[in-house]
A = this chain, B = another copy of it.
Amino acid sequence: MRTQDDVKAAIRALGVETASWAFANSGTRFKVFGQPGVPRDPFEKIADAAQVHRYTGAAPRVSLHIPWDLVDDFSALAAHARDLGVEIGAINSNVFQDDDYKLGSLANPDAAVRAKAVQHHLQCIDVLHATGSTDLKIWLADGLNYPGQDSLRDRQERLAESLATIYAALDDEHRILLEYKFFEPAFYATDIPDWGTSLTHCLALGDRASVVLDTGHHAPGTNIEFIVMMLLRAGRLGAFDFNSRFYADDDLMVGAADPFQLFRILHEIVSQDAHRPESKVNFMLDQCHNIEPKIPAVIRSVLNVQEALAKALLVDPDALVKAQADGDVLGANAVLMDAYNTDVRPLLASLREDDGLDPDPIAAYQRSGYFERIAEERADGAQAGWGA
């Protein structure tokens, strides 16, 4: 059993990366509901992200999305982040919102469109240079809506070639994080629909390409922690996009839909020591706060990851190994459940107090007056959304 101090130290070492777009407006295809105080530019998004770190002490980096977060001077943006106590994290490319990408980007049948999409990624590598980030994160909307619409096989060849061109432009300290998704926005076939496809491309690219596992991007019933284990075994789990879902890619707060699943995922992580920074697994949030206030929702999400990690750290490894070796099905399961059923909130409150933080980050944020201030200050101007 880990000591309480060891557990605390391990939790302290895990930083959750927030996403700039989580603070902007988002919604479904039916409606985007605006919220008061929503940021109007990347600087304001980072200011909001910094609030999450301020109250949790556990969200030290912010992912950007290009072009949503395009600014004239990225080093100014990076300095702004540092001033607020956070750093720029992964740079996400966006090749799904330009009219040219209607039939795909890196796998488009038209070579000119593919070249444009590759070029966009080279621009993102420039942002890596300007911000000091090392992670180029790629999620593609590429796919087909109708059988026959394009050649499934040819699209893989085009995709492989486009990715190779991008990979060749990376610096040594850079890496590609390649995401997969079961469906949406393509409804018949997606060009990278599963971890097998993403891993196949990463293996072909080289050592500096790893898979992104978005917890909402799987078929119903998929055992996600199994995939976590397989990717760790292959040395290719680059990052998580954490969120939760009941049905499809619902992008709800992580831990909200199935907290036991989140715990099982963290148990696989802890079992392979991948919670440690040296593992280079980037624990990111990728969520849409469509109806709930965004900053406290992100705070809650960070707390949920911490709680799941704390429980995973409380699993008694010796008792587990013994019960497993004995073929004691109920006993081994009970070791896991004992940890899961523990109320870890007092431990996390104590950790925060150790670190000079308020034990209740959401209450502290709400008392701070920050929301009231931004709601007033940002009343004018266009709110940022997924396309702004």
Contact = CB atoms under 8 A, between A and B. Distances in A.
Interface stretch (A42-50, A163-171, A218-226, A349-357): A218-226
A119 interface: no
A239 B170 CA distance: 39
Contacts of A34: 99
A271 to B, nearest CB: 6
Contacts of A324: 109, 148-151
A229 interface: yes
A156 interface: yes
A181 to B, nearest CB: 11
Contacts of A13: none
A219 B226 CA distance: 14
Contacts of A300: 330, 334
Interface string A318-353: 001101110101101111110011110100000000
Interface in A92-128: 96-97, 99, 101-103, 109-110
Interface in A191-238: 193-197, 199-200, 218-223, 225-227, 229-230, 232-234
A195 B26 CA distance: 30
B146 A256 contact: yes
Nearest to A94: B30
A257 interface: yes
Contacts of A330: 146, 292-293, 296-297, 300, 362
Given A148-B336, A152-B229, A252-B145, A103 B183 contact: no
Contact of A193 (B223, B256, B327): B223
Contact of A219 (B219, B252, B320): B219
Interface string A68-109: 000000000000000000000000000011010111000001
Interface string A174-189: 0000000011110111
Contact of A221 (B26, B220, B256): B220
24 contacts: A26-B29, A28-B184, A103-B329, A145-B291, A145-B292, A145-B329, A148-B334, A149-B329, A149-B333, A151-B271, A153-B271, A182-B247, A185-B290, A190-B223, A196-B227, A197-B230, A200-B234, A221-B247, A258-B258, A291-B329, A293-B330, A296-B330, A297-B330, A330-B362
